[in-house]
Amino acid sequence: MATEVKVPTLGESITEATLGQWLKAPGEAVKADEPIASLETDKVAVEVNSPVDGVMGEQVVAEGDTVLVDAVIAIINEGAAASTAATPAVADRNAVGQAEAAAPAEPASAPVEEDDGDPKTLSPAVRRVVLEYGLDPSKIKGTGKDGRLTKDDVLLAAKTQKPAAAPAAATPAPAVSAPAASFAVSGERKEERVRMTRLRKTVAARLKDAQNTAAMLTTYNDVDMTAVIDARNRYKDLFEKKHGIRLGFMSFFAKAAVLAARDVPAVNASIEGDEIVYRDYVDISVAVSAPQGLVVPVVRDADKLSFAGIEKTIADFGRRAKDGTLKMEEMKGGTFTISNGGVFGSLLSSPIINPPQSAVLGLHRIEERPVVRDGQIVARPMMYLALSYDHRLIDGREAVTFLVRIKEAIEDPTRLLIDL
């Protein structure tokens, strides 16, 4: 008996997705509720599970194809025996957007045998990093769902393992002749063309739209992190023992942003048509790194959460972003964004607004710098802050005031406790 596998409902207003990766090959045994494919939407990756026990049959669409909600993407043969040889996927019958489908599709991933003999499939992003560093994926421990390799797994292995010999190119690169007075090119040079994921295309479009729509401006300040670092070091063990979560810096900045938004409500507002929407709540979008790219889940009612509540929510988002299990509804409705480029080593940047929000706070790395305190030059752990804002709604005075309130709360965390 054959059972059709269809694209599930993807969420409000989302009608299509891209088949990002097949997790099962034709001929492989599958169990009910076991993931067989990964779909990429405008916001997150969604796994499609097998509805029954059986054997993977036809793959009706190819990786990179666009599919509609409720379209058939595969066939599961119930009661059939698993085959050692995989049958080729048939031509796409449910893809839409023929112009996009005409572009060269990403080749199907090859199974990789891990040490326990369980075949795994590399996603296109992971495969690119494996080839770039010349690593043997079978020797890398996967931390993703069901033990699959993530991009972070490969990057970590690249730092600790001795790279294997890089595979030879299928065809030699064309020779490049340079004028005698110009430059010379020696050795083999490679290029790879990879289709943009739906998430990356959506991010690109939204960022460009933000630049085209908002009158965007950025103001900067710096903050002395001494008091927060001292408080964290003093209470981190007790905090973790009581709440089961580490005390980080993000909860301090989230609380400081809530406090500042009460004095400058325009930063937490947005423009809708000819109206300005002011809010008595603060939903903070927190930028989180995921294998598919940067995602921005929302900490709901951050103004009502405790430090522990904020830390637990952000930690949960971080784990599920790496696993690809964030839900689309968790990405919607933020009123203000905090982006921490400091975890990647950024010293200073100008973040871009996340529409329809009107402001975003950029955090950066902490480093000791000389500052003057009481007439003396001393070293202090300093961080640059950047607030990008929509000048159509937020005046320069309001933006500077908001950033100063953040600075005051971080340099004197007692303000966060007494709401000052």
Active site residues per annotation: 391, 395
Q: Are strands 359-363 and 275-277 parallel, antiparallel or unpaired?
A: unpaired
Distance CA 325, CA 127 (A): 21
Distance CA 190, CA 180 (A): 23
Distance CA 219, CA 5 (A): 51
Looking at 324-413, list the stretches that DSSP marks H as alpha helix, in order from N- to C-terminal side. Answer: 396-411
Give me the torsion for CA of 416, 268, 286, 35, rounded to 10°: 130
Looking at 214-352, list the stretches that DSSP marks H as alpha helix, in order from N- to C-terminal side. Answer: 226-243, 250-263, 307-323
If you ran DSSP here, which 8-state letter would residue 331 be given? G
Give the pair of three-digit tokens for residue 171: 């065809």
If you ran DSSP here, which 8-state letter would residue 230 be given? H
Give the pair of three-digit tokens for residue 315: 């930690």
Q: How far is CA 28 from the centre of its chain?
A: 31
